[in-house]
């Protein structure tokens, strides 16, 4: 069965015994594998190497044949997602080969994916057993790749390891790109790997683009390090802080004492406890008798009550005070559960916005609450206004309740785009602009708008143009962070501009003589003229700009945008929008 068809139910499967095995029977096989590695030439196919990453070894070494990831033999796959609600897991196996020599005497530093024995060790001794606990409820994919042999790691030399693993990492990236090109990218993505496979996870996070990163529920670096340099280099590497955050990297290494940290493997700058999902030293109990806690200064897991004796030391390199070989097995139940938790959380965040709102039962609306008559918050917390009623119509179309959240003009853009999301949409006096549409979504207009002024009624004849306002003796007051301040700064070079933090207080300050002119909009000015006879809007019918007010939301919510536009169109069609304009004394511009 070709890998291309892997999203179908008849995808190729390996035989996996889902029945839980006890830890010792699984791990003894893992430990003994390295001792049983063959150093014979076996079935290697040595080629004239054209891999740039390994060209320096071309003359002295054998480079095995390149994997063909269109070939199903290059994969272990398992489909345990019976209801379509799980994740797609891309797993990278650890190191299973020692250096070996070919028939012509050349040494090989890499696994040969075309050698059934090499594939057998990778598959039977690790991949299948990881799949046994990761695949239930998920789709599991693991490529065979030309991983570098254990000797590279035993040099404990970062440059040697980096050079030797380039070929391996190139294979993994090629396999991942093939996997990514053929999977259903609407599903949450899990990337996981152990030891050398953990290094591959780090390199994959550097390799993927932002679109792929947005599909990531979590990355699991098991038994390998994540450094500050990695995180500086790659914004996709974001340390997990708890049990449910998404788009994060989980990293841990297990030791009996911090003195057994292996610099080339476990000298990490991040660590989280997979038992209690904490990053501090709070201890957790595993299997009733094992205590696991994070060393915050060394970023490793320190265990007590557990000898790790089933993992024999390998040539005085690993499992010598560290318990490197335990990483995928000791915490397997914790990992299996957490993959499901993070995949579910990812789906909550990435499911269609309308569905998410309806399941929640509440439309969350951001509004400034300082913009009469479009959005105003009374002292008792009650919101009212033209925009508030439009938001109510949107909630009614969704069949949900409504909840308001406070935002401000200076923070509006950041609040719309923040993670985690604090509201679904923003409403109330928000002008549609090209700048906003570049980074966010804006609905169709539901209210005509334009810049105008408020001044004292006794001085209305004084201000008949923008030039009359832009004089050194004129004090112009604006609220901060919005388009009113932007307009003033761009068009008034002589007047004194005063920024006042509360928009709703500015009209009364103008009336009391604290400033002469308020830059406002034709949607706001009539309300204050009607409610305070000390004020006038002499240029109401000659606004400086022409635009429309709409509903603002983050990108990725196109389904919600369509629903909002449908509501606005319905309000225009059935006359409800005209009635709202009349109720609030606003000019209707949608004939």
User: What are the pLDDT digits (tens) for 61-116?
Assistant: 899 999 999 999 999 999 999 988 899 999 999 999 999 999 889 999 999 999 99
**What's residue 151's pLDDT?**
97
Q: Is residue 257 situated within a structural domain? A: no
Q: Is residue 54 situated within a structural domain? A: yes
Mean pLDDT of all residues in the chain? 90
Q: Which of 202, 229, 252 is the last residue of a domain?
A: 252
Whichever domain contains 382, its CATH number is 3.40.190.10
Asked if residue 505 and residue 456 are part of one domain, the reply reads yes
Asked if residue 471 and residue 417 are part of one domain, the reply reads no
The mean pLDDT value for 495-505 works out to: 95
**What's residue 33's pLDDT?**
37
What percent of the chain shows pLDDT beyond 90? 83
Give the 3-state secondary structure of residue 463.
coil
Say if residues 352 and 559 touch (Cβ distance below 8 Å). Answer: yes
Rounded to whole angstroms, the Cα distance separating 404 from 533 reads: 32
Backbone angles phi, psi at 277, to 5 degrees: 55, 45
User: What are the pLDDT digits (tens) for 379-402?
Assistant: 999 999 999 999 999 999 999 999
Neighbours of 545 (CB within 10 A): 14
Task: Give the chain's count of helices (H) and strands (E).
Answer: 21, 27
Q: Is residue 319 situated within a structural domain? A: no
367 forms beta bridges with 406
Q: Is residue 409 situated within a structural domain? A: yes
Q: Tell the burial category of 259 from Cβ atoms under 10 Å away from its Cβ (0-12, 13-18, 19+).
A: exposed
Model pTM score: 0.62
Asked if residue 185 and residue 72 are part of one domain, the reply reads yes
- Is a pLDDT exceeding 70 seen at residue 448? yes
With tokens 């983050």, the residue in question is 554
Residue 203: which of 240, 175, 241, 245 has the closest Cα?
Answer: 175
User: What are the pLDDT digits (tens) for 102-131?
Assistant: 988 999 999 999 999 999 999 999 999 999
Confidence of residue 52 (pLDDT cuts 50, 70, 90): low
Task: Name which residue leads in pLDDT, 389 or 349.
Answer: 389
User: What are the pLDDT digits (tens) for 177-195?
Assistant: 999 999 999 999 999 999 9
**List of residues 6+ apart from 211 with CB closer than 8 A:** none
Domain count, the chain: 3
Rounded to whole angstroms, the Cα distance separating 433 from 453 reads: 20
What percent of the chain shows pLDDT beyond 70? 90
Give the 3-state secondary structure of residue 324.
helix
Asked if residue 201 and residue 113 are part of one domain, the reply reads yes
- Is a pLDDT exceeding 50 seen at residue 201? yes
Asked if residue 73 and residue 18 are part of one domain, the reply reads yes
With tokens 């629903």, the residue in question is 563
b (16+ CB within 10 A) / e for 81-101: beeeebbbbbbbbbbbbbbbe
User: Cα dihedral angle (579, 580, 581, 582), rounded to 10 degrees?
Assistant: 50
**List of residues 6+ apart from 522 with CB closer than 8 A:** 448, 449, 450, 451, 452, 537, 540, 543, 587
The mean pLDDT value for 363-379 works out to: 95
Q: Which domain holds residue 392?
A: 353-448+548-583
CA-derived radius of gyration, the chain: 32
321-325, 494-498, 541-545: segment of lowest average pLDDT:
541-545
89 forms beta bridges with 140, 190
User: What are the pLDDT digits (tens) for 270-293?
Assistant: 999 999 999 999 999 999 999 999
């Amino acid at each position: 069965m070709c890998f291309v068809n892997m999203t179908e139910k008849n995808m190729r499967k390996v035989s996996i015994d889902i029945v839980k095995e006890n830890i010792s029977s699984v791990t003894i096989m893992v430990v003994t594998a390295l001792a049983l590695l063959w150093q014979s030439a076996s079935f290697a196919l040595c080629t004239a190497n054209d891999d740039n990453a390994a060209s320096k070894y071309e003359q002295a070494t054998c480079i095995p044949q390149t994997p063909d990831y269109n070939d199903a033999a290059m994969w272990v796959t398992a489909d345990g997602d019976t209801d379509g609600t799980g994740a797609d897991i891309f797993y990278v196996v650890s190191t299973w080969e020692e250096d070996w020599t070919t028939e012509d005497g050349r040494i090989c530093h890499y696994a040969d994916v075309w050698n059934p024995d090499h594939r057998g060790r990778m598959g039977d001794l690790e991949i299948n057993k990881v799949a046994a606990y990761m695949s239930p409820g998920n789709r599991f994919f693991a490529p065979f790749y030309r991983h570098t042999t254990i000797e590279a790691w035993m040099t404990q030399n970062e440059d040697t390891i980096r050079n030797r693993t380039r070929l391996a990492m190139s294979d993994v990236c090629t396999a991942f790109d093939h996997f990514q090109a053929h999977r259903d990218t609407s599903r949450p993505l899990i990337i996981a790997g152990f030891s050398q496979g953990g290094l591959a996870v780090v390199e994959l996070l550097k390799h993927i683009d932002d679109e792929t990163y947005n599909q990531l529920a979590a990355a699991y670096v098991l038994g390998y390090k994540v450094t500050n340099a990695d995180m500086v280099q790659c914004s996709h590497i974001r340390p997990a802080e708890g049990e449910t955050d998404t788009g994060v990297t989980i990293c841990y290494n297990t030791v009996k004492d911090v003195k057994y940290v292996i610099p080339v493997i476990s000298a990490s700058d991040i660590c989280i406890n997979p038992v209690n999902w904490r990053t501090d030293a709070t201890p957790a109990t595993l299997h009733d008798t094992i205590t696991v806690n994070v060393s915050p200064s060394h970023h490793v897991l320190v265990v007590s009550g557990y000898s790790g004796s089933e993992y024999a030391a390998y040539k005085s390199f690993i499992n010598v005070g560290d318990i490197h070989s335990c990483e995928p097995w000791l915490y397997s139940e914790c990992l299996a559960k957490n993959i499901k938790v993070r995949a579910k959380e990812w789906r909550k965040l990435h499911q269609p916005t309308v569905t998410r709102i309806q399941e929640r039962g509440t439309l969350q609306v951001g509004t400034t609450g300082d913009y009469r008559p479009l959005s105003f918050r009374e002292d008792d917390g009650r919101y009212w206004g033209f925009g508030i009623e439009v938001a109510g119509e949107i909630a009614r179309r969704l069949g949900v309740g409504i909840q308001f959240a406070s935002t401000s003009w200076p923070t509006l853009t950041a609040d719309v785009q923040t993670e985690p999301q604090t509201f679904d949409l923003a409403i109330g006096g928000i002008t549609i602009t090209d700048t906003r549409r570049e980074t966010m979504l804006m609905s169709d207009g539901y209210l005509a708008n334009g810049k105008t002024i408020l001044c004292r009624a006794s001085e209305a004849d004084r201000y008949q143009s923008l030039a009359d306002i832009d004089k050194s003796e004129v004090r112009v007051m604006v609220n901060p962070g919005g388009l009113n301040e932007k307009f003033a700064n761009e068009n008034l070079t002589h007047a004194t501009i005063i920024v006042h933090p509360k928009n709703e207080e500015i009209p009364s300050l103008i009336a009391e003589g604290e400033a002469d002119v308020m830059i406002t909009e034709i949607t706001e000015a009539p309300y204050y003229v009607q409610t305070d006879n000390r004020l006038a809007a002499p240029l109401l019918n000659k606004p400086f700009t022409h635009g429309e007010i709409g509903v603002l939301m983050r990108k990725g919510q196109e389904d919600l945008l369509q629903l909002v536009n449908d509501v606005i169109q319905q309000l225009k069609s059935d006359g409800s929008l005209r009635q709202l304009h009349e109720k609030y004394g606003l000019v209707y511009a949608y004939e």
